[in-house]
Chains A and B, each alone.
Chain A
Amino acid sequence: MAREVDALGGQMAVTTDHTLTHVRRVGTGKGPAVQTTRAQVCKALYPATMRHVLERQENLSLIEGEVTSLGTAGGRVEAVSVTATDGSTLNLSTRCVVLTTGTFLNGLCHEGMSKTIAARHGDRSVAGLADVLLDLGVRTRRFKTGTTPRIVRSSVCFEKTEEMPSEPESGPLSFLHDRFFAMRPLLPTWQTRTSRDTHDLLRENLHASAMYGGEIEGVGPRYCPSIEDKVVRFSSKESHPVFLEQEEWDSESVYVQGFSSSMPADVQLAALRTIPGLHSVEMIRPGYAVEYDMADPLQLRPTLMSKLMDGLFLAGQINGTSGYEEAAGQGIVAGINAARWAWDEPPIEFSRTQSFIGVMIDDLVTKGVEDPYRMLTARAEHRLLLRHDNADLRLTPLAIELGLASTERRARLEEKVKCMAEGMSWLESNYIFEADNALLEARELAPVKGRASLYDLLKRPDVTLELVEGLAAEAGLDPSLGLPARAHGDSFGAVGHSVRAQIEIEAVYCGYLKRQEDEAQMARRLDQMPIPSEFDFVGLNGLSNESKEKLARVKPTTVGQAGRIPGVRPSDIALLIGHLRAGHSSLVRS
C-alpha cells in the first residue's frame, strides 16, 4: 500500500527513502504478490521531514489546534471550528473536511490498572468532536491498540540475539528513486524469542493486565495482539519471536516489536528480562494500550465521504483500521475525493481488482469492522495482479489523469513501459536452438526441440532472467540490445531493476496472471452494475428480512458490492439483479 500511495503521487515512500534506518525484504519465497519491502524510519527524522514537506506545499496553510465543531447546512459541511493552541477560536468556511483523528478521539491510555486520558504518550485526547459525530448519527465504538515498551540499547546483550542486517538490495520504496538516500549507514534489527518463563510470568499476572483485568472495553487488533493476548490465545506455542528495532541512529531507545503490552510496568520489565539478550534490560518507558473512538465505516461511501453528511470525509484509525500504510492509503483517497468534491468533479473509486487500497476500502464500507482492520495479502482475491512491483503500472496512469504525478514520475513510467515492451519483444524474438542444447545441459536444464524463444525458456520455473542472459551471451546474442542492465552496488540503474523484475514475473507466472486477469474482469462486470443511491432495499420483495437488513445497512452502490456483504447469498443477488433489470421504478424513491 505504501507503494500504491507512492504511485498515486503520495509522499510516504519518498520520505521513507530519505529517512530509513533499516530495510529488509519480507516474504521471499512466498510468491511475487506477498513479497514486500519492510522499512524502518528514523523516529525523529521522518516526522520532521514530513512537516517540512507540508510547510513548503503551496496553497496549504497549517493551523495547529483542536477541531471543536462542524458547521453544517442542508446535509452539507459548511464550516469547521478550531480552537488554536493560543486559545483563540477560528471559524473556517469550507466545502469539505477530512477527519483523521487517529487515537485522539476520547483517547484513554492503560498501563496495568492505571488510566490516563491521552491519545498517546504526551498527547492529550479530544472529547468534544466525538459528540459532534454522534449528533450527525455516526455510530461509534471503542477500539484498542497497543504499543511496546521502549528499552535502553546499552542494556541489551546483543550477542545473545540474532542480528538481521539491512538488505539494501531490496531497492528503494519510491518509484521515483533509483536508490536509498539514507543519512547514515543502515542499522540491523535483532531477533530474539520469548521463553516458557516469559509466558508463565505473564500468565500469573494476567489479573493485573488492563486487558484481562476488565479495564478495557475496546476491541484490539486480532492480527497484531499484545503479548499477553498471544500467551492466552496461542497457549500451545512455547515461544513468540521478538524483534529489537533501534528508533533513531543515536538514540538509546529500542522498540520491542512483537511485545506490545498493557501490563503494569514492573510485570513488563520482569517479563522482558526472561528473554535471551534482555536479562539485565532497562526500560525507558513501559508499553501501554490506548482506547479510542472509531466510526462505523459502513456509514461511508467508497469515496470515504460520509453517507450522513456531504463533504465530510473520514480516514485512518477513525474508520477502524490499524497501521501506518492503511492510514496513508485512506488518506490519499479521502484527499483526492475531498479536492474533487470541492471542485464539483465526480468522485474517484478504487477497485478491488486494481489496488490493495481498493480492497481495503471495499472491505471497510462493505463488511464493516469488528476489530482493528489490518491489511493482509489474503484479503485480496486477485493479489497476483496487485504486486508491489507493478503498483506504478496500475495506478500512476490515474495519478497522471488527476494531475498528481510529477513530470518526472510520468517520464519514469513511460520509460518503464517502453523498456518492458522492448525487453519482452527481444526475448520473444531471439532463440536458443537445438544445436545449443549443450549450454542448457551444462546448467542442468532440459534440452529444447528445434528451438525455443528466450521468453519460453524464462517461463520455466527454475530459470531466472540472469540465467537466460548468460545463455544468450554464450549463444552469441547480446542481451544489452534488449534488456536493461542488472543492478550493481546501491544503484538500481534508472528503471532497469524494476523492468527486469516485471519481465521475470510476467514470464514465470503468465498462466496465473492470465487467469486472475480473467477473474478480475468478471468481477468488474458486477461492479459495473450500479444500484441507484435512492434504491429502497427494505421494499425489495422476496428477500429474507435478514438479507434486507444487511443490504439496507450497507446500501451498496453496485451489485458487486452487494454480493460481498457477509450473509448476502447468491440467490439474494439474483433477486436484486432481477429487480434492477425489471426496472422496478417503485423501489426508487424520488
Chain B
Amino acid sequence: MGRRHQCLQPYGNSTRLARPSPASAARYDSTVRRLEDTIVAPITALGGPVAIVRLSGPESWSIARTISEPSSSTEPVTKAFRTVHRTYRHGDDGLVVLFPQGRSYTGEACAELSCHGSRAAVQELLEACLSQGARMADPGEFTYRAFMNSRIDLTQAEGVRDTVSALTATQLRQANRLRDGALRESVCRLRDDVHSVLAAVEASTDFSEEVGDLDRPAALARLRSVASGIEDLLEGTQRSWLLREGLTVAIIGRPNVGKSSLLNLFLGSERAIVTDIPGTTRDTVEEVCNVRGVSVRFVDTAGLRTATDQVEAIGVRRAWASGETADHVLYVYAGPEGWTEEDEASLSAVPARVTVVENKSDLDPPRRRYGPAVRVSAKTGEGVTELMDNLVQELTDGEPPLPNRRHTPLLEAALADVEEASRTMIAPVPDDLAAVHLRAASRVLGEVTGETASPDIIDRVFHDFCIGK
C-alpha cells in the first residue's frame, strides 16, 4: 500500500473507534484470534459428487500431510502450486493442492483437499482437520484474510461477497467487475491524481523559491478530470442499487384491463386471481421473477376507479402508493376500450418512469390508442417478448455502474471536496486551503478501497459473508 498518508488517515473514523460497544469489543476479540489460527471449511456446496475443503494458515500444509498419504504419484503436478493425489487416513481419496504463502486465495499457506461430496465424507475430512488443530472458518474469513494480507482491497472483497450472492446475470456481471478490481483501479487512479495535485500545492508552499508558484491552471485541469472521473463512477449509481437490490415494477391501470393476467403471464403461474369481474384484485399482489438477469418484483394492483366499498377503496389507495414508490410502472389499458381521458389523467399522476401497455391485442383494435404503447396479449402471449425487452432496456440502460451503497456517499464526499479545491484554484485565496480539501478527498477515497477505512467499516463489509468464502 502506498505509505504513508497516515497524517490524514485514521482520524476520519476515530469517533467510531473511540466509542466501543461490548459487542464490538467481543468481535474484535474474535478477530484477534483469527489470523494466527489455521482455519478450515468446505468451499463447495454439499450434495455434489465432489466437495473441496480448504485449509488456510500456518499449519495448513502440515495438517494436510498428516491426515493423508501419497497414493499414486507424489510428484507435484505444477510448479505454481503442488497437486498431489492422496488417500486420506479415514479411507476416502482425492487431490490435495498445496498453495504456498503469497500465492493462495488468502495470501497464506493454503491446502485444498477434494473428497467425495457426501455429507459424511466431508464431515470426516473436516473432523480430521479439526483434530489436527485447525478451527472452523467463520463466514467470510478466507476473504477477510485475503484482505488483511493485502491480496485484495475492500471493494474486491465486496465483489467476492456479491459474486457469491448474485441472483441474476446482471448482478453477477457487476460483482465480477468489482472482484476484478475495476473500482479499486479507478479509485486508486483518482486518489493518485489527488495526491499529485496535493504534492504540487505542498511543494509550492514549502519550496516556492525552488519550484516557483503553483501552476493553478494545470492543477485545476487535473482536479476537473478527477471530478469528472468521480462523476463517471457515480453516474447511474441509483440504477446500480436497484439492480443489486432488485427492482420494483408496479402494474397499474383501470379495472379489468388484464393487469393480473399479465402478472400471471410474467410469472408463468396462476398467481393472481383472474375473473371478468372488474375490481377482482382488491389488494396488491407481489411476486419476484428474473427478467433477463434482472431481479424484478412485480406488484399487481387494484384497478383505478372510484371504489364501490371500503376494502376496494383501500386497495385503490395502495395501487396509487405502489405507483409512487415503484422504480418503474407498467400502465395497462385494454385495446377494445382504448385510451381514455381517465387514463390520460392517471398517467400524468404517476411519478415513476412508465411503459404504457396496450393489452388484449388479440381482440379488436382500439378506437383511440396511446401512441408509444407496447401491444401485448396476456391471453396469447403475443408481444410479451417485446415488452420484456423494452422493460430491460428501460431498467438497465447499458453497463451497470460499480459503486454500491457504501461507496456512493464516500465518492460524493470526495467529489464535493475536489470541487471545493477547484474553486479555491479560481478564487483569490491562498493555495493552502486547497490542501485541506485535497487531504479530505484522499481520505474518503481511501475509505472506499479500505486503505483508510476504520475497523468497524471493515467489519461491516465482512458481516454478510457465508461460510467457506
Contacts and interface: CB of A to CB of B under 8 A. Distances in A.
A126 B136 CA distance: 62
B436 A240 contact: no
Nearest to A547: B148
Contacts of A383: 432
Contacts of A377: 202, 205-206
Question: Interface size bucket, B side?
Answer: 35 or more
Of the candidates B27, B149, B433, B452, the one having the most CB atoms from chain A within 10 angstroms of its own CB is B433
A29 B430 contact: yes
B363 interface: no
Interface in B19-58: 20, 25-29, 31-36
A560 B183 CA distance: 30
Contacts of A564: 4, 6-7, 9
Nearest to B429: A461
A519 B3 CA distance: 20
Nearest to A564: B6
Interface stretch (B85-93, B187-195, B226-234, B453-461): B453-461
B453 A570 contact: yes
A351 B320 CA distance: 60
Given A384-B436, A570-B453, A582-B28, A544 B149 contact: yes
A29 B430 CA distance: 6
B12 interface: yes
Interface string B277-318: 000000000000000000000000000000000000000000
A523 B14 contact: yes
Interface stretch (A31-39, A53-61, A334-342, A401-409): A31-39
Given A522-B14, A526-B10, A581-B20, A567 B210 contact: no
Given A542-B32, A542-B34, A579-B32, A31 B432 contact: yes
A569 B1 contact: yes
B355 to A, nearest CB: 46
B455 A461 contact: no
A381 B7 contact: yes
Interface residues of A, number: 56
B33 A570 contact: no
A515 interface: yes
Interface string A17-59: 0000000000101111110000000000000000000000000
B327 interface: no
User: Which secondary structure characterizes the binding site on chain B?
Assistant: helix
B396 to A, nearest CB: 35
B431 interface: yes
Contacts of B34: 542
A582 B433 contact: no
B263 to A, nearest CB: 48
A542 B33 contact: yes
Contacts of A73: none
B455 A27 contact: no
A29 B216 CA distance: 13
A34 B32 contact: no
B458 to A, nearest CB: 6
A76 interface: no
B11 A526 contact: yes
B273 interface: no
Q: What are the 7 closest A-B residue pairs judged by CB atoms, nearest first?
A: A578-B28, A31-B432, A574-B455, A31-B430, A378-B202, A381-B7, A566-B4
8 contacts: A241-B209, A461-B427, A541-B32, A542-B36, A543-B35, A544-B35, A571-B148, A578-B29
Given A519-B12, A567-B4, 13 more contacts: A30-B208, A31-B430, A31-B432, A31-B433, A32-B430, A379-B7, A381-B8, A525-B18, A526-B18, A544-B148, A566-B4, A570-B453, A574-B31
